[in-house]
Amino acid sequence: PENGKVFTSRELEKAGLLNKTKIAEGGRKLRKNWSPSWVVLVGNSLVFFKDPKSQTPSSWKPGNSRPESSVDLRGAQLHWANELSSKKNVFKLRTVTGNEFLLQSETDSLIKEWYTTIQNVIDRLDRE
């Protein structure tokens, strides 16, 4: 995007720190590589940012950092997936293109909020 601006704050639904690993790319299985990621739910996309150390939900602003990757939530599927990890509070997000991510937090309430918010966006897109 122009000037590195990714989106306007009006579209921002949720932002926070989660542990993330990609486990499949186009249906092909990948080796897990968990790392903390700054996750932003904006419009129809889940956007991942690196280097989340200096960030907090209150100080983060759209447009001042470049995303590492992003996921189109249209047609995506969300499932709790504690059987796929030794960690607790894990869910799996699968995109229509067959990319699969695990997202995790040690904080029960936080991961539940993320699950519900992402599922609401998926449901909204399904109805369009």
Q: Which residues bind ligand I3P (CB under 6 A)?
A: 31-32, 34, 85-87
Residue with nearest beta carbon to ligand I3P: 85
Residue 46 near residue 70, CB atoms below 8 Å: yes
If we measure between CA atoms, which residue out of 84, 71, 9 comes closest to residue 39? 71
Minimum distance from CB of 102 to ligand I3P (Å)?
7
Q: How far is the CB of 39 from ligand I3P (least distance, A)?
A: 17
Pick the closer one to ligand I3P by CB: 30 or 96. 30
Considering the complex, state which of residue 32 and residue 124 has its C-beta at the smaller distance from ligand I3P.
Answer: 32
User: What single-letter DSSP state applies at residue 116?
Assistant: H
CA atoms of 87 and 25, how far apart (whole Å) = 22
Residue 85 or 105 with smaller CB distance to ligand I3P:
85
Q: If we measure between CA atoms, which residue out of 45, 37, 38 comes closest to residue 6?
A: 45
Q: How far is the CB of 86 from ligand I3P (least distance, A)?
A: 3
| Residue 30 beta carbon to ligand I3P: minimum distance, rounded to whole angstroms | 10
Hey, is 121 helix, strand or coil?
A: helix
